Structure 1
Amino acid sequence: MIVKNIKEIKGYDVKEAYGSNAKGVTIRWISEKRTGGEEYMHHFALRYFVIEPGGYLAPHKHPWEQEIAIVKGRLVATAEGKSVEAKPEDVLYFAANEEHGFKAVGDEPCEFYCIIGCPGKGENCIGLNEPKSS
């Protein structure tokens, strides 16, 4: 078993770390390919995002599925030209290669868990250049 506290996991500014078209977005890699040993199958990665009020992650797509679960705040999610406002306890699913983006709305940050699939060797499921986490 591995136990972590989300607030103790290092957060990264998405624009600075990945060069993404984003503003006011922080990512924390809760689990990723280097978490634990081989006994952990690494078929998915779990991340935690915080988008500051008015912040956004511009529309993008990737060859793996993604699900998010809103914990706090609200955001407008856009996928394939359709927009929906999501609130705490809402869960959104995005298919592989489905273009999607997010914008926080309201006066408080939007916080959500994000799960992504790790197809193939899971290169997309490696956090930033951090030492192996346990």
Structure 2
Amino acid sequence: MYIKKVEDVKAELVAQEGVKGTYIQVLIDKERCGAVNFAMRRFIIKPGGEIGLHNHNWEHEIFVLKGKGIVKNGETTHEVEENTVIYIPPNEPHYYKNTGRTDLVFLCLIPIKN
């Protein structure tokens, strides 16, 4: 069993092209606790921050904890806020932006590659 308080997990700046004002906390994964099926990450996007359009060959399950923002999948823009759930299928282009005045915080679960 692995138990950890979120505030005890270091938030690291995401330093990738197309990403600004975004931090990630890896809460559960194979390296930290031996998880074999999925990884749980917590993202914090500061006001005005964004994660540029990108895609992966794995799905995402997202739960918005707080804040407001938009998520785009190609041409369609969706407004999201606290208590919104999002499913992004494999290979679907997606983009996140904080449009609010406070942090946009969400959990993102992804499969672990075996």
Shorter-chain TM-score tier: over 0.9
- Residue ranges of structure 1 left out of the alignment (5+ in a row): 122-134
**Map of 2:62 onto structure 1:** 68
Q: Report the AA paired with residue 86 of structure 2.
A: L
Runs of 4+ displaced beyond 2 Å: none
Where does structure 2 lack aligned partners over 5 or more consecutive residues? Answer: none
State the distance in 2 between where 1:5 and 1:68 align: 19
Matched residues, number: 114
Q: Find the structure with the greater CA-based Rg.
A: 1
Match of 1:10?
10
Pairwise CA distance, 1:91? 0.3
Determine the C-alpha separation between the residues in 2 that align with 1:68 and 1:4: 20
TM-score normalized by the length of structure 2: 0.94
Partner SS state of residue 33, structure 2:
coil
- Inter-CA distance 45–20: structure 2 relative to 1 (3 Å threshold): farther
Aligned to 1:44: 38
Task: Judge conservation of contact 1:66–1:116 (CA < 8 Å) in 2.
Answer: yes
Would you tell me which structure has more strand in proportion to its own residues? 2
